[in-house]
Amino acid sequence: MTTAMEPGEPTSALRLTAIPDIPEVRIGDRISTLLLDSLEKAGINLLDGDIIAIAHKVISKAEGRLVNLDDVVPGSRAREIATITNKDPRLVQLILSESTGISRMRKGTLIVRHRLGFTSANAGIDRSNVPQNGAGEWVILLPIDPDTSAAKIGRDILDTTGVGVGILIVDSHGRPFRLGTVGVAIGVSGIPAIWDRRGESDLYGYQLEHTEVGTADEIAAGASLLMGQAAESQPAVLIRGLQLPPVQGKARDLIRSKDMDLYR
């Protein structure tokens, strides 16, 4: 449900609003313009400190990250892995091209270390909500550099409106020890990706020693509830009311380093 918001609302209330009527995105579209046009039609004025979460497929489509599997020639390694995983060798070749290593593979499953640093199934390559135009099967890849894409959208909005907003680019990831996918941030601009609260005191005066909050992922998960996974057609969500420290984070801040990764 989309509701209009008025300036001056109390910031103690957190509100997430799906931005309505985002049009089908095509290669070369200016995402900031699409967002601002839709916000204007909905009667929503941006405020400093607002955050806009955007489904990665919107960014990937604008950046031309669509690939027809008929154009992919699988190599010998891809064909070998395809036999093990029972996947299309052309898809496997794309997954390998987007990855720096394989974490796990079995029939029906290929989990890799993505070139952006995180671990995900199929390197984030997906067919859902991808237009199938003409012959062959089309799939979509993650943006080349989501942090840079997010920063550009934020700058464009600031230049156009004079309002500073945070930008998140969101993808859905599985988790190693829990069922179900959740929204995570793969691109961040204008807000902290990690909120380091070490040194603060809790209600009883205990000084926090290990508390680093994955702020960007928490916001992304909330926004993902409105975005949906099927035919909801709500790829952008406005978040208002968060009080965050003035830290300029990036999604890469969320990547656990190799020396700290006990599960790799």
CATH number of the domain residue 19 falls in: 3.30.1330.100
50 and 159 housed in the same domain: yes
125 and 229 housed in the same domain: no
132 and 229 housed in the same domain: no
Residue 58's domain comprises 15-64+143-255
Model pTM? 0.88
Q: Of 4-13, 86-95, 167-176, where does mean pLDDT reach its minimum?
A: 4-13
Residue 5 belongs to a domain? no
CATH code, domain carrying 95: 3.90.1660.10
Confidence of residue 3 (pLDDT cuts 50, 70, 90): very low
Give the up-direction half-sphere exposure of residue 252: CA atoms within 13 A in the CB hemisphere: 9
DSSP string, 209-256: SS-EE-HHHHHHHHHHHHH-SSS----EEEEE-----S----GGGGSP
59 and 76 housed in the same domain: no
Q: How confident is the model over 157-216, as pLDDT tens digits? A: 999 999 999 999 999 988 888 888 899 999 999 999 998 788 787 777 888 878 888 899
Is the pLDDT at 55 greater than 60? The verdict is: yes
Q: How far apart are CA 254 and CA 185, in angstroms?
A: 9
Is the pLDDT at 141 greater than 80? The verdict is: yes
- The whole-number pLDDT of residue 6 equals 43
151 and 237 housed in the same domain: yes
Residue 180 belongs to a domain? yes
167 and 193 housed in the same domain: yes
Residue 49 belongs to a domain? yes
135 and 147 housed in the same domain: no
- CA dist 11 to 15, 124, 203, 226, Å? 9, 35, 22, 21
54 and 147 housed in the same domain: yes
How many domains is the chain built from?
A: 2
Residue 41 belongs to a domain? yes
Is the pLDDT at 230 greater than 70? The verdict is: no
